[in-house]
Amino acid sequence: MEVTGLSAPTVTVFISSSLNSFRSQKRYSRSLTIAEFKCKLELVVGSPASCMELELYGADDKFYGKLDQEDALLGSYPVDDGCRIHVIDHSGARLGEFEDVSKVKKYSIPEEAYDQRQDSVRSFLKRSKLGRYSEEEQAQQKAENSQRLTEEKAQASAIPVGSRCEVRAPGQPPRRGTVMYVGLTDFKPGYWIGVRYDEPLGKNDGSVNGKRYFECQAKYGAFVKPSVVTVGDFPEEDYGLDEM
């Protein structure tokens, strides 16, 4: 490529690479040599400067040529705002290799060692008595949980096992069924109502995590909060699921 003299102090370009599927928009000084420019590109594309081959494309993606003179200034090439500089890597790395975070070694520290550190977030929370280390917040949270449990228990006590019901969960259409279970569970805290729906609109067969709470066919059972259950004379509806 013919090298000419350009005077604008900086230029904004797009950087693409044979190692990545994305482009970055960066601003560089035209006074950088190509060798210095490559060193700055290492942090952008992940390729070693010594393994880079640079191609210059115009804003219309027309190929202008290669930036192949290490001691030439970036500004001596026809690099204008909106141009794209494509980095071809010759290190042997593969496309997307530097995008796969699963290959990045992750730092971990034993729980006991972390607990002894004085510069950690946990240490700060302990010293400041914030979050789960605040006695006041913990007491308030405990009181709120106790109040919620009392309210759920009162609601659940008004829902007899064997009664017909309608479930109106937020964001879902009403579903009718029969109450099969009322009480506490092992899978989540609080009081739950086990319902056998009239049609296969549920999530289980009356068991969760290997523990059975009631009997029903697969996909007919569900557990819902007492607040969404209304007991009453709800005849079985025809949902039309057997129609062709």
Tell me which residue of 6, 26, 2 sits closest to 15, measured CA to CA: 26
Please state, in angstroms and rounded to a whole number, the distance separating the CA atoms of residues 198 and 233: 14
pLDDT band at 50 (very low <50, low <70, confident <90, very high): very high
Average pLDDT of every residue of the chain: 87
CATH class assigned to 10-89? alpha beta
To the question of pTM greater than 0.85 for the whole model, the response is no
- Please give the average per-residue pLDDT across 213-229, as a whole number: 96
- Domain 10-89 shares a fold with domain 164-231: no
pLDDT of residue 139: 81
Asked if the model's pLDDT at residue 86 lies above 90, the reply is yes
Stronger pLDDT, 135 or 167, i.e. the higher one: 167
Which tops the pLDDT comparison, 120 or 194? 194
Measure CA 37 to chain center. Answer: 35
CA distance 46 to 94: 11
User: CA-CA distance, 103 to 220, in Å (whole number)?
Assistant: 43
At the second CATH level, the architecture of 164-231 is Roll (2.30)
Domain boundaries, the chain: 10-89, 164-231
Rounded distance between C-alpha atoms, residue 184 and residue 53, angstroms: 67
Q: Average pLDDT in the 193-203 region?
A: 95
**Mean pLDDT, residues 18-41:** 92
**104-157, pLDDT tens digit by residue?**
677 788 888 888 888 888 888 888 877 777 777 778 888 888 999 999 999 999
Give the pLDDT band of residue 26 (cuts 50, 70, 90): very high
Q: Which stretch of DSSP H or E encloses residue 183?
A: strand 175-184
